[in-house]
Structure 1
Amino acid sequence: MVHPLSARGQLAASRVMQLAIVGILLVGLWTRNVAVVVNAALSLAVTVLPAVLERDWDIPLDAGLTLWLTTAVLLHAIGMLGLYSSVPWWDHLTHTLSATVVAAVGYTTARAIDEHSDAVYFPPRFLFVYVLLFTLALGVFWEVLEFAVHGLSDVVGIDAVLVQYSLEDTLVDLVFDAVGAVLVSLFGTTTLRSAVDTLTARLAGSSTDESR
């Protein structure tokens, strides 16, 4: 993924987005909107994941990937302020972008295992199908989670923190999940090269430690 910003600029943009999510969290607290608070808090937690991976697992993500991840969760948090219901295409945008993140995780993991182990080989066509199915599987899980949370909220009598509008909406969401997976498979492999190399090196280091 080509960015007009330098690595430092991308990290700065990520920090600004984190502050924006904090602002959304404060808005949720001020308005006592449980859905906004929960989703903003989870989004904020996701943005610190790159730092946790680098600190605890020695897997640094480059600035572009961190910005990619942060953008996805920020748009979701913004959507909870009302854009999901007032802007018809906002849900499609966030699902596509979130799906690219999921697809990136699936691709990076599979590709790193492929390069690390001589016993494993994933042909390009298989890897394409794998990324698509991996993303759709996580998409289905998310839709089931939305359905379960919405049903539980109705039983308990509280506002749902995740909203499922209809079966048609669910199917459309999965279509855009597939679009995100295809975009990563076709155009994201170069962007993920550094992440694959980093994870491959981490796997090699773990194997060396275990053999001692």
Structure 2
Amino acid sequence: MRWRLPPNVGSLAAGGMRLAIAGILGVGLATLNASIVINAAGALAITYLPAFLSRDWGIRLSPSLTLWVTAAVLLHALGMLGLYDDLWWYDHLTHTLSAMLVAAVGYAATRAVDEYSDAVYLPHRFLFVFILTFTLAVGVLWEVLEFFTRLAADYFGIEAVLVQYGLSDTIVDLVFDTVGALIVALFGTKTLSGVVDALHQRLEDARTERPQ
């Protein structure tokens, strides 16, 4: 059974979360905290991604998926206010949610290409492994970005935009990235079927519009 929300409820909840992120951005500007400003501004931009996909690409996300995206970036923005330091489990939560989003993107794009091209055949077992591998690869890239961002911040004597606490923290982050990927691989593929169909249709439309 798919998790569905009435359209109005999802839109109102996502709008409320967007306002909360805007408030966090305001806090960052008021306190001249660059890490809060940059992370909140990025989170706020991501909340408009579903509307962009719908308007310019014809890919409509369900209210539950839109809420999922908005909640993930809101929690990250909140973490920059100090929750990452104050709550030991908070980083694990945000990494799991973020990994679920990465896994969802990887699955939907790959499955759409599989349906679009007769030359591509991806067994379900391969897709399961692919979701895990893709998510961990992105997770490793993110950890490398955090590491070099931290080094740059220390070198220039400024506050780090991204939080990184060392090798043990990186390993734990990758463990929870794996948890997020497993949740999508085991339970989330049906929820993403609408996105897969929309991406597949977009590819078909592009092929039709291509000059012969």
Give the alignment's TM-score, normalised by structure 1.
0.97
Secondary structure of 1:106's aligned partner? helix
Give the structure 1 partner of residue 146 of structure 2: 146
Instruction: For residue 69 of structure 1, report the CA deviation from its aligned partner.
Output: 0.4
Write out per-residue CA displacement over residues 151-175 of structure 1, whole angstroms, 9 at most, x where no aligned residue.
0011111111111101000000000
1:2 maps to a residue whose letter is: W
Give the structure 1 partner of residue 47 of structure 2: 47
2:106 maps to a residue whose letter is: G
Instruction: For residue 211 of structure 1, report the CA deviation from its aligned partner.
Output: 4.7
Give the structure 1 partner of residue 119 of structure 2: 119
Seq. identity, %: 59
Secondary structure of 2:88's aligned partner? coil
Give the structure 2 partner of residue 8 of structure 1: 8
Q: List aligned pairs for 1:1-212, cutoff 5 A.
A: 1-3=2-4, 5-212=5-212
- Structure 2's unaligned 5+ residue stretches are none
2:114 maps to a residue whose letter is: D
**Distance in 2 between residues matched to 1:198 and 1:105, nearest whole Å:** 13
2:127 maps to a residue whose letter is: L
1:173 maps to a residue whose letter is: D
Give the alignment's TM-score, normalised by structure 2.
0.97
Write out per-residue CA displacement over residues 173-207 of structure 1, whole angstroms, 9 at most, x where no aligned residue.
00000000000000001100100111111111111
**Distance in 2 between residues matched to 1:11 and 1:102, nearest whole Å:** 22
Secondary structure of 2:210's aligned partner? helix
**Distance in 2 between residues matched to 1:211 and 1:119, nearest whole Å:** 21
- Structure 1's unaligned 5+ residue stretches are none
**Distance in 1 between residues matched to 2:146 and 2:120, nearest whole Å:** 36
2:179 maps to a residue whose letter is: V
Moved more, 46-55 or 15-24: 46-55
Give aligned pairs, total.
211
Write out per-residue CA displacement over residues 31-72 of structure 1, whole angstroms, 9 at most, x where no aligned residue.
111111110000001111111112222222121111110000
Secondary structure of 2:122's aligned partner? coil
**Distance in 2 between residues matched to 1:57 and 1:198, nearest whole Å:** 9
Secondary structure of 2:60's aligned partner? coil
Instruction: For residue 126 of structure 1, report the CA deviation from its aligned partner.
Output: 0.5
**Distance in 1 between residues matched to 2:155 and 2:166, nearest whole Å:** 18
**Distance in 2 between residues matched to 1:49 and 1:122, nearest whole Å:** 28
